[in-house]
Amino acid sequence: MTLNVGVIGVGMIGQDHIRRITQVLSGADVVAVTDVDLDRARTVADGVADARLHVTGEELIADDSVDAVVVCSWGETHEQYVLASIDAGKPVFCEKPLATTQQACERILSAETGAGRRLVQVGYMRRYDAAYRALRDVVQGGTIGLPLMMHCTHRNPSVPGYYRKESAITDTAVHEIDMVRWMFDEEIAATTVLVPRKSRNGGELQDPLVLLLEMDSGILVDVEISVNIRYGYDIRGEVVGENGTAALGEASPVRIRSAGLVSDRVAADWRERFIGAYDVEFQEWIDALRSGGELGPSTWDGYAAAIVSNAALEAMRSGMRTPVKLPSRPDLYGG
Amino acid sequence: MTLNVGVIGVGMIGQDHIRRITQVLSGADVVAVTDVDLDRARTVADGVADARLHVTGEELIADDSVDAVVVCSWGETHEQYVLASIDAGKPVFCEKPLATTQQACERILSAETGAGRRLVQVGYMRRYDAAYRALRDVVQGGTIGLPLMMHCTHRNPSVPGYYRKESAITDTAVHEIDMVRWMFDEEIAATTVLVPRKSRNGGELQDPLVLLLEMDSGILVDVEISVNIRYGYDIRGEVVGENGTAALGEASPVRIRSAGLVSDRVAADWRERFIGAYDVEFQEWIDALRSGGELGPSTWDGYAAAIVSNAALEAMRSGMRTPVKLPSRPDLYGG
Amino acid sequence: MTLNVGVIGVGMIGQDHIRRITQVLSGADVVAVTDVDLDRARTVADGVADARLHVTGEELIADDSVDAVVVCSWGETHEQYVLASIDAGKPVFCEKPLATTQQACERILSAETGAGRRLVQVGYMRRYDAAYRALRDVVQGGTIGLPLMMHCTHRNPSVPGYYRKESAITDTAVHEIDMVRWMFDEEIAATTVLVPRKSRNGGELQDPLVLLLEMDSGILVDVEISVNIRYGYDIRGEVVGENGTAALGEASPVRIRSAGLVSDRVAADWRERFIGAYDVEFQEWIDALRSGGELGPSTWDGYAAAIVSNAALEAMRSGMRTPVKLPSRPDLYGG
Amino acid sequence: MTLNVGVIGVGMIGQDHIRRITQVLSGADVVAVTDVDLDRARTVADGVADARLHVTGEELIADDSVDAVVVCSWGETHEQYVLASIDAGKPVFCEKPLATTQQACERILSAETGAGRRLVQVGYMRRYDAAYRALRDVVQGGTIGLPLMMHCTHRNPSVPGYYRKESAITDTAVHEIDMVRWMFDEEIAATTVLVPRKSRNGGELQDPLVLLLEMDSGILVDVEISVNIRYGYDIRGEVVGENGTAALGEASPVRIRSAGLVSDRVAADWRERFIGAYDVEFQEWIDALRSGGELGPSTWDGYAAAIVSNAALEAMRSGMRTPVKLPSRPDLYGG
């Protein structure tokens, strides 16, 4: 039984997910699309056999042939489509962020807990990356003793023109914010933002930044955020334990000896680095919906990420250590 | 339009390909299975929605609902199923070897050239491995100058009890035999087998061996074949060019610092190392059949591998350098 | 003309330097020794051909046959021997710290500037390590653009029983404090100490710690200080520039493939890691004294390290970012 | 008691050893020099305090102030100076080769065994390299089981104009010939030379070559000899055992991330790669002579290397596997 998916928002990421569902993965099909730009939606629909065009997300959600919804539209619109999906009792995969305000996240929390079952999955794909998973297995397996610290780097070669200073938290470090909650199975208690010397590659932007995250247990995470570092897209992470450390491996398909150097390759961008993680993320989502298995990152995860991001933004503005105030976790999310 | 596949032979590798086609990849379905062990075939068929059971491979091939055939049966039976598929005008994916004798390969060559179009693909999955592909791109891109040598290691932690001395060539090094033909786009001219000191891990078996392959252009390839080396499954390759070298990268998902060491992981077995290559191999085969694109390793490749393997076996017996006598390549295969 | 050296303090480090001067390096000899423990001094003197025993450091310094003094005694006594050496107009190599209080350092500064020429070198041996030197060349050569951050780790497998919480700064991180001043040719403006989750390996000790150092230009340095991490002695450093990064290489004499892992070695302790740096440090000191060349780390460097260490200790106590107040640099030290 | 050394032959390598003895190492001095080019000898003597100039090697050897002789002259002259040193009862360090013919080596063997004690050390410096020593310790320690094979690469970026085809054996691979005898504590039984495709970088020269060495126990060694490979000087070695492998580590002082690559450095030439080994080689030689300790590579080692080299040259000419005929080892050399 094929899972019939409707996709709301068919920009770059939406189109990539359609390609993934229709040409790469097993067990699902795209049967409906829509977009705020209807011409674009029509073009995309024309390229997918059997995909119907809808003029609104709400119409798509209401379509009886749609078993599950994928939301890749502009962040401001996530709330309405997720709420409508919950209302229709349909599973919904929502690209990050879950919503753009704390209040919006809380409305979604409230709707889903009201429905009494999980319908929402948020698109934190790092949890599906083979290297992060292997790292988490090592950390949780005890090889290095209790984890005490984690050093992360999140480096982009460049960022688009619309990237603002807040983006360093809400677009970039938000991946690490979710990742460490999952890595250590605990919440973030406080954040601080440190400001190093400024790169001239970033123009007006303060780049790089360092985000400090203090976990509930006291684990201290530092995240270097460098978004104009030219040389490549470089995601690293090393967990420091009592007796040793464990780090993400560095994968390069080839090693070249040339001109005085032995060189491995760095990924050019996030697509190259995480394409496998996106594939696994969607295959596991499809499999979970088809077989009744467990869903991935939840509304609660999206909400927690929003709360921590807000604290980090406040820390950035104030220059002060800023506690994270998270309400207690509802039962639906393992609270 | 889904590609409907029939699978002949549902042992370990056949079942794995069924899993791949039905649960991992896009665009194909398994609609028929058979096996010399009908009970096993029935059990497997029961686990795949809509898969019919056939009592013979020939019956499966004749089934109108079968668009394409996958042959994973015992090597001795490959010839008959491949010939029957060609006769039926159906595309057939045949696990290596294409056939177990030179004469059988020649009968397949003759049948396919007689049919006037390519129907057969042989299962040399290394051509689909990301690292080998990146290596080939570097070699052919000229970064290291003309290629002059290639050093390969093919190491298995252990081999099953039925592994005989000939298996080092026909089961193990045959992967390198195909790989270097593809890596350098040329044929192998001669082979030699060298005999190092014997490992006590291999019992009666002469293990390790070194296989030398001389390419038409003079490129010299050495292949270390160690099949009881305990520590892991380790496939390495370094192409030595005039100005530098390029090697397969070494991928480990995590790097651990513990007990005086910084350690990366080695794959445990070929499944772990090449699972991604098998996925790509089948997805590209499915895509090629659905869209009319180009097929992968051909009957000619399977035939050439057989001829070179026979020369290597002769070299092993005689201790002498043994030339490879390959007829001219038919037009159908780019001759 | 051999440089005749007198050594004050012949504990472990003093004996190691005597071995170095008499058995490893060229151009110097040890002609006099003393120690607060005269029995130990006598035993050591007996093992060195031509080495006279002195009952006090002052007597050793006054010995006409002594061309230059090496001070390896207890930190509290450094000031008196360095001052006496300056007073006698003799070059003196003083193991770190230069002195144990800011005031003592200032008295030495005052004495040396009064003498009008450099006589003192302080034992910061990292400046002589081949990897740190190569790193500094890359950083100053511009390959990575302006330096913006530096990530350091300083990991010890264990520490002796007398190690107190202040030691994390004054014994451990003081190496990084000197190193970054030299790496970037600028002073440290402020320090902060962060407190991660505590390792159970350290007993009562707060271990690990993170020391933040803000350079005058804004370069932000973070130093992980883990002193009971069991797995080895691991000194790492990565400078993050605008366009790339440069890090200390990881040197292992062998790479072993065994039991599922590819492993490199980590140094067991600081002796193994820095033995080469100590050799270069003393050979260059000897050469400078014999040929009139330039000395290494100066009284000013020892003083600055003391000021920064005091600020870091204050930061540790208060939990606050603590500015470093450094007077202007005297002309003698390139001010 | 300083060891007074006389140096015969003060070309590049002779001058480097003089620098080493007088400015780097401990316990020795250069008191006499000579050279076939007396003007050069005079210039060098003028630069070394207390070094006398001699007009012949024989005169230098006879000089009573000379405790030990270092022979760095042209290979053809090694025999006469080594024999004269033995005749004078003086220790002599002879740069490789011990002599240029088998007969000359045998005359030296005969003279030294006649003298009844070891006086000669041959300059095979790889035995003093930290990485090779660590590798040998691992191999002999049993971690990888019995050694079965060794893969070596000996790569030079370029070679001087006087390099002839025989040089690949006598100047280049001779280092591996000595090294494997020492690595495995056994002799070489046979050699074969393989001829890969020819690099255009080497002009008329057949470059690269592969030298196969079969040890007495059956261990099979392959040595890639590439002497115009441009990218750097790259010495690698991996010993394949029954249960794992051990390889020379790859040391780079810095790791740079720039322009899409993570890069380590390759040595530029043999000086950079082996400078430390030369220092250790001479310091241990000096220490052995001063303290009566054991000498390094012997006349027997030099002789065995000559015999194997001759077999390899014969193998190169004939294209055939060529056995090595080595007489039994005299008692003086542990026979």
Is B194 a residue whose pLDDT tops 90?
A: yes
**Do the Cβ atoms of B222 and D210 come within 8 Å?**
yes
Going from N- to C-terminal start, the domains of chain B cover 3-126+276-303, 127-161+168-274
* ipTM of this complex: 0.96
From the list C90, C60, C95, the residue with the least C-alpha distance to C76 is C95
**pLDDT score at B183:** 98
Selected residues 140-159 of chain A with any CB under 8 Å from a CB in chain B: 143-144
Is C335 a residue whose pLDDT tops 90?
A: no
| Per-residue confidence band for B250, with pLDDT thresholds at 50, 70 and 90 | confident
What is the arithmetic mean of pLDDT over C2-17?
Answer: 97
| Per-residue confidence band for C50, with pLDDT thresholds at 50, 70 and 90 | confident
Q: Counting beta carbons within 10 angstroms of the beta carbon of residue A335, is it exposed (0 to 12), middle (13 to 18) or buried (19 or more)?
A: exposed
**pLDDT score at B335:** 76
**To the nearest whole angstrom, how far is the Cα of C251 from the nearest Cα of chain D?**
5
**pLDDT score at D50:** 84
Count how many Cα atoms sit within 13 Å of the Cα of residue D61 in the half-sphere of its side chain: 21
Q: Which CATH number applies to A127-273+304-333: 3.40.640.10, 1.10.3710.10, 3.30.360.10, 3.40.920.10? A: 3.30.360.10
**pLDDT score at A50:** 84
pLDDT one-digit tens code per residue, B253-275: 999 999 999 999 999 999 999 99
**To the nearest whole angstrom, how far is the Cα of D259 from the nearest Cα of chain C?**
8
**pLDDT score at A335:** 76
**Do the Cβ atoms of C219 and A208 come within 8 Å?**
no
Query: If DSSP states are collapsed to H, E and C, what string results for chain A?
Result: CCEEEEEECCCHHHHHHHHHHHHHCCCEEEEEEECCCHHHHHHHHHCCCCCEECCCHHHHHHCCCCCEEEECCCHHHHHHHHHHHHHHCCCEEECCCCCCCHHHHHHHHHHHHHHCCCCEEECCHHHHCHHHHHHHHHHHHCCCCCEEEEEEEEECCCCCCCCCCCHHHHHHHHHHHHHHHHHHCCCEEEEEEECCCCCHHHCCCCCCEEEEEEECCCCEEEEEEECCCCCCEEEEEEEEECCEEEEECCCCCEEEEECCEEEEECECCHHHHHHHHHHHHHHHHHHHHHHCCCCCCCHHHHHHHHHHHHHHHHHHHHCCCEECCCCCCCHHHCC
Amino acid at D312: A
The Cα D19–Cα D48 span in angstroms is 9
Size of interface A-D (CB pairs under 8 A): 50
Quick check: B249 contacting D, CB < 8 Å?
no
Within 8 A of B215 by CB-CB distance, chain D residues are 197
The Cα D50–Cα D31 span in angstroms is 6
**Smallest Cβ distance to D263: which of A230, A250, A263?**
A263
**pLDDT score at D310:** 97
**Do the Cβ atoms of D148 and B196 come within 8 Å?**
yes
pLDDT one-digit tens code per residue, C176-234: 999 999 999 999 999 999 999 999 999 999 999 999 999 999 999 999 999 999 999 99
Within 8 A of C252 by CB-CB distance, chain B residues are 262
Q: Using CB atoms, which chains have 3+ pairs under 8 A with D?
A: A, B, C
Contact by Cβ (8 Å): D33, D53: yes
Q: Is CATH 3.30.360.10 correct for C127-270?
A: yes
Round the average pLDDT of chain B to a whole number and report it. 97
What is the arithmetic mean of pLDDT over C321-327?
Answer: 97
pLDDT one-digit tens code per residue, A255-272: 999 999 999 999 999 999
Is B137 a residue whose pLDDT tops 90?
A: yes
Within 8 A of A217 by CB-CB distance, chain C residues are 197
Q: Using CB atoms, which chains have 3+ pairs under 8 A with A?
A: B, C, D
**Do the Cβ atoms of C197 and A148 come within 8 Å?**
yes
CA distances from B196 to B209, B224, D220 (A): 6, 10, 5
Within 8 A of B230 by CB-CB distance, chain C residues are 259
pLDDT one-digit tens code per residue, A198-209: 999 999 999 999
**Smallest Cβ distance to A260: which of D257, D259, D265?**
D265
**To the nearest whole angstrom, how far is the Cα of D259 from the nearest Cα of chain A?**
4
**pLDDT score at D335:** 76
**Smallest Cβ distance to B138: which of A22, A135, A254?**
A254
Buried b (16+ CB within 10 A) or exposed e, A158-196: ebeeebeeebbbbbbbbbbbbbbbbbbeebbbbbbbbeb
Quick check: B250 contacting C, CB < 8 Å?
yes
Selected residues 183-242 of chain D with any CB under 8 Å from a CB in chain A: 230-232, 234
pLDDT one-digit tens code per residue, B1-40: 799 999 999 999 999 999 999 999 999 999 999 999 999 9
The Cα A70–Cα A123 span in angstroms is 10
CATH number for region B127-161+168-274? 3.30.360.10
Quick check: D244 contacting C, CB < 8 Å?
yes
Is C328 a residue whose pLDDT tops 90?
A: yes
What is the arithmetic mean of pLDDT over C300-312?
Answer: 98
What is the arithmetic mean of pLDDT over C31-58?
Answer: 96
Buried b (16+ CB within 10 A) or exposed e, A62-91: ebeebbbbbbbbebebbbbbbbbbbebebb
**pLDDT score at D250:** 87
| Per-residue confidence band for B94, with pLDDT thresholds at 50, 70 and 90 | very high
**pLDDT score at C332:** 97
What is the arithmetic mean of pLDDT over C277-289?
Answer: 98
**pLDDT score at B1:** 78
Thinking of the domain D3-126+276-303, which architecture would CATH place it in?
Answer: 3-Layer(aba) Sandwich (3.40)
Is B68 a residue whose pLDDT tops 80?
A: yes
Within 8 A of B135 by CB-CB distance, chain A residues are 253-254
Q: Which CATH number applies to D134-273: 3.30.360.10, 3.30.300.30, 3.40.50.11540, 3.40.190.10? A: 3.30.360.10
The Cα C127–Cα C305 span in angstroms is 14
**pLDDT score at C197:** 98
Question: For chain D, which ranges sit under pLDDT 70?
Answer: none
Is A52 a residue whose pLDDT tops 90?
A: yes
pTM higher than the cut 0.95: yes
**Smallest Cβ distance to A250: which of D234, D259, D262?**
D262
**Smallest Cβ distance to C234: which of B230, B234, B257?**
B257
The 10 Å Cβ neighbour count of residue B154 is 25
Q: Using CB atoms, which chains have 3+ pairs under 8 A with C?
A: A, B, D
**pLDDT score at C250:** 87
CATH class, domain A3-125+276-298, is alpha beta
CATH number for region C3-125+276-303? 3.40.50.720
